[in-house]
Chain A
């Protein structure tokens, strides 16, 4: 079992839900990333999703697009994200999932990437443009290095797709709350509840929900029907402002989940 599986199954046994914040590495600068990372540990985040900037983030809305473009200007290549994480690992032990588009990993070379990512303390991967059908090689390496492969399920997913996604996901299944991109407006509906139930009927792996979660009230309602809540754009949006306000917001989210 890796760190994510261990931690999430402990939560499950205690009947608690996971709070999974997303931050973009190097946005607005490396110093802030380090500060916020420590803040996330303080407020009791369960898993951190660390975003790797990419020139063409086609699953992301304007907030994360902008953050990626700033982070790239700051020189945050995949290699630098890994070394940033490696240095954070000296002080923090919470599980980290890398959220990256596929091309930087592909260009890095899978064998070299897994070796370096494992040394840096990456516990799992979310690659939004790599559906499980195309992920044979990535899965093989992930198993070898005991990293979680977190695939996405969507409101449009058919039964066959749900079966494939759940079979190949370890750590957790990422349920995309809406048909849309990150930072869109979430709608917590009966349909969503039904989909989560359906996905859970296929797997023991926890199901966490993201895309568009903003208000603590929304996080609370999702935590009632899923195993965890992922919050991205609305955290990233506040990273350029007063970090005390961000800390307060993170505490509220933690409390709600």
Chain B
């Protein structure tokens, strides 16, 4: 993408962190640039994506869903089929290898839904590094199974009780840990957010999604899709998919934020619909904040989208109107969760269900020849107990 100033996408991005971390970010940038060109590193990464993660993931034509909606042909990019069940592993594994190559002894990460925590714990176990995961107390409660999963993988899970006890507080705590242990620790940021170079590194590690999808759709349909749809929390699965098509001007792209209980209710995480430009946790981007510049609490049924800001490259793509950003409410996402389960036998993550919800709205309005690719960024097993509780089933977990 076009950058005006180092680490910027238009006016968004930058490196707004305490001085203690700046040398570590400079080192990270340098080492990433070097290794991302290094044939051996790339070969190792590629081999692991194939044999360990299970890539390429299929691009699946969802015929029953398409027929059910009676419009466009919907393809699902099946990131839910990766090892650990979400796209997060692409980045976590890449950064684990990077950290190992940099001689770091310990990985730390934040996690919201728990998917990035699980992916980082997995990466740490695979390359043989210590691992500590920060997770908001509220998310620990919502995602109990993933907490145990991380522990099983040998990671220490630290519950964060500060602030709103969700993802943003987990990031604050991870940054505090990193500030303290920066000499031997690598911070595996889970999304295209934070101080430069993270938005770029994470996009590069996730770009495999878009590269594969582009090749796969050309093979299946002999043409490019009309629409790409992806959910946007921080925005890494969306950036991964979109980055493969940014130069294809006829491919329209839609990013779906968490509409929670609706924008007017104030209980949502729709940064473009309800936020303004601010500086938060390392970069300048759209932010849900009050008029005094304090960060607002967010709400979403999906822990992975429940965050007050959004990746700076998304902010840029929003402003230049390359990507259209919309939102799906909790209710719409829950409905999509069930529709996909029943029509295709695929239970999506609640995050990904937001993207499916947009496809449900869009597809019937399009011609039957139109093609949509939905990024099915993760599987929904982790969300089943929560959805069951919401529907009044008594599931003990």
Question: A residues touching B (Cβ–Cβ < 8 Å)?
Answer: 54-59, 61, 65, 69, 72, 77-79, 102-108, 128-131, 133-134, 151-158, 161, 165, 176, 179-181, 184
9 interchain pairs (CB within 8 A)? A103-B294, A107-B292, A129-B18, A131-B16, A131-B17, A154-B18, A165-B19, A179-B180, A180-B20
Residues of B near A130 (CB, < 8 A) are 16
- B181 CB within 8 Å of chain A: yes
Residue pair A108, B294 in contact (C-beta under 8 Å):
no
Pick the residue among A79, A107, A154, A157 that contacts B278 (CB under 8 A): A107
Whole-angstrom distance between the Cβ of A23 and the nearest chain B Cβ = 20
> Is residue B291 within 8 Å, beta carbon to beta carbon, of the partner chain?
yes
Q: Whole-angstrom distance from the CB of A46 to the nearest CB of chain B?
A: 23
Query: Is there a chain A Cβ closer than 8 Å to B146's Cβ?
Result: no
Which residues on the A side are within 8 Å of B375 (C-beta)? none
Question: In the complex, A105→B280 CA distance in Å?
Answer: 12
CB pair A152 B278 closer than 8 Å? no
The answer to whether A131 and B19 touch (CB under 8 A), given A103-B278, A103-B295, A179-B183, is: yes
Tell me the bound Cα distance from A38 to B278 in angstroms. Answer: 35
Main secondary structure of the interface of B (DSSP, over half): mixed
For window 1-57 of chain B, which residues contact chain A by CB distance below 8 Å?
A: 14-24, 26
Minimum CB distance partner of A165 in chain B: B19
A58 near B278: Cβ-Cβ < 8 Å: no
- Does B145 lie at the interface of the complex (its beta carbon under 8 Å from any beta carbon of A)? no
Let me know if A154 and B20 touch, CB within 8 A. yes
Please tell me the number of chain B residues within 8 Å of chain A, measured between CB atoms.
37
**Residues on A with beta carbons closer than 8 Å to the beta carbon of B19:** 131, 151-154, 157, 161, 165, 176
B163-189 interface code vs A (CB 8 A; 1 in, 0 out): 100001100100110011111000000
Q: Mark B274-288, 1 if CB is under 8 A from A, else 0.
A: 001011111000010
**Which residues does chain B contribute within 8 Å of A107, judged by CB atoms?**
276, 278, 289, 291-293
Which A-B residue pairs are the 7 nearest by beta carbons?
A107-B293, A104-B293, A154-B20, A77-B292, A152-B19, A180-B180, A55-B294
Interface centre among A72, A154, A176 (most CB of B within 10 A): A154
- The residue among A133, A155, A161 with the most chain B CB atoms within 10 A of its own CB is A133
Q: Is the CB of A102 within 8 A of B279?
A: yes
Which of B20, B22, B291, B295 is A56 in contact with, Cβ under 8 Å? B295
Residues of B with C-beta under 8 A to A78:
292-293
Closest chain B residue, CB of each to CB of A174 = B19
Shortest CB-to-CB span from A119 to chain B, Å, is 18
Contact of A104 among B182, B183, B292 (CB under 8 A): B292
Does B162 touch A at the CB level, under 8 Å? yes
Q: Report chain B residues within 8 Å CB of A128.
A: 18
A133 touches B180 (CB 8 A): no
Q: Which of A58, A102, A179 contacts B172 (CB 8 A)?
A: A58
Asked whether B293 lies within 8 Å of A59 as measured between CB atoms, the reply is no
| Closest B residue to A158 using CB positions | B23
Shortest Cβ distance from A127 into chain B, in angstroms?
9
Instruction: Specify which chain B residues have a CB less than 8 angstroms from the CB of A55 in the assembled complex.
Output: 163, 294-295
In the complex formed, the residue of B with least CB distance to A60 is B176
Tell me which of B24, B175, B293 contacts A156 (CB under 8 A): B24
A139 to chain B, nearest CB (A): 15
Identify 11 new A-B residue pairs, CB closer than 8 A, beyond the known A61-B176, A128-B18, A156-B24.
Answer: A54-B294, A57-B172, A58-B281, A103-B287, A107-B292, A129-B18, A129-B279, A133-B15, A152-B19, A176-B20, A180-B179
